[in-house]
Amino acid sequence: MTAAPTERPTCPTSADFRVAGIQVGRCAACGQLARVYGGRPPTDVKTTKGIDMATVNTELLKRTLQHIEDHPETWDQATWRNPDAECGTACCFAGWAVTLAGGQFEASQIVRIDSLPLSGETVRALQEVGIGTVGAAAIPDAAAWLLGLYEVIYDEDGTGVYLDNDPSDDLFSFDNTLDDLRYIVAGLCGEPTGSAAD
C-alpha cells in the first residue's frame, strides 16, 4: 500500500483553467498539466492524492468523443445506456466509454469489473479500498475508473477508504451538449479549450 501524502502537492503555480470541475495548471518547473490544490479538504477527509493528470486515459476520451461525433443518433447524454433505443443502443459519454473499452454488461447499466481493461494504478486503487476486480459496477463508476477520473480518499491513518468519482461529474452531466463534451475532453487531454465558460 502506498502511504497517503502528508500535505497536498504544490507543483502547479497557477490555475490555468477548470476541467471537469478540477482546477488545472501547468507546473512552472516541468510544464506538466496537474491538478491545482486549493483550500482545505472536506472535514471528514484527512487527505487525498487527487487525480493524476498523467494517468487520465486520453486515448479513450478521444475515441469516445469521436464515436459520439460520428454516430450522434446513438448518443443520449441523459441515459447511461439504453439497449432498447430506436437506433439500437444509445449511451451517454460514460456508457460509450465503457462500451468502447470492451466492458461486458450484466444488465442494462451494470458492467462486470473483470471485463474492464483497467490500468495497473486503478486496479491497485480498487484493491486498496476493498472493491477489488471481481463483481460488478455501475456505468459511471466503471467509466470513471477506465478514464482515470477518480480520487482515492484516505482516512487519518493513511488507509484508502473509498474512490471518489467527483472528478468525472462534469463530463458525465446529463445536460452536456456536444460542444460541452468537446471542451471538457480537450481540457482533460491538455489541449487548447477555447473560450467556453466553466
Question: Rounded distance, CA 105 to CA 52, Å?
Answer: 28
Q: 95-113 as b/e, with b when 16 or more CB fall inside 10 Å? A: bbbbbebebebeeebbbbb
What is the C-alpha separation between 32 and 3, in angstroms, rounded? Answer: 23
Task: Answer yes or no: is pLDDT of 22 > 60.
Answer: no
Tell me the C-alpha distance between 123 and 125, whole Å.
Answer: 5
d(CA 1, CA 158): 9
Q: Among 18-32, 98-112, 177-191, name the one with the lowest average pLDDT.
A: 18-32
Task: Check residue 187 and give its pLDDT.
Answer: 84
pLDDT one-digit tens code per residue, 159-181: 766 777 777 888 898 888 999 99
pLDDT at 152: 77
Determine the residue type at 185. Answer: V
27-41, 49-63, 78-92, 127-141, range with greatest mean pLDDT: 127-141
Question: Rounded to 5 degrees, what are φ and ψ at 122?
Answer: -70, -40
* 42-65: average pLDDT: 67
d(CA 181, CA 11): 28
Return the amino acid letter for 67: H
Which pLDDT score, from 0 to 100, does residue 50 have?
A: 54
Per-residue pLDDT tens digits for 24-36 = 444 444 444 444 3
The mean pLDDT of 138-167, rounded to a whole number, is 80
User: Residue 128, Cβ neighbours under 10 Å: how many?
Assistant: 18
> What is the model's pLDDT at position 66?
97
Mean pLDDT across the chain: 73
Mean pLDDT for 40-51 is: 39
In three-state secondary structure terms, 89 is: strand
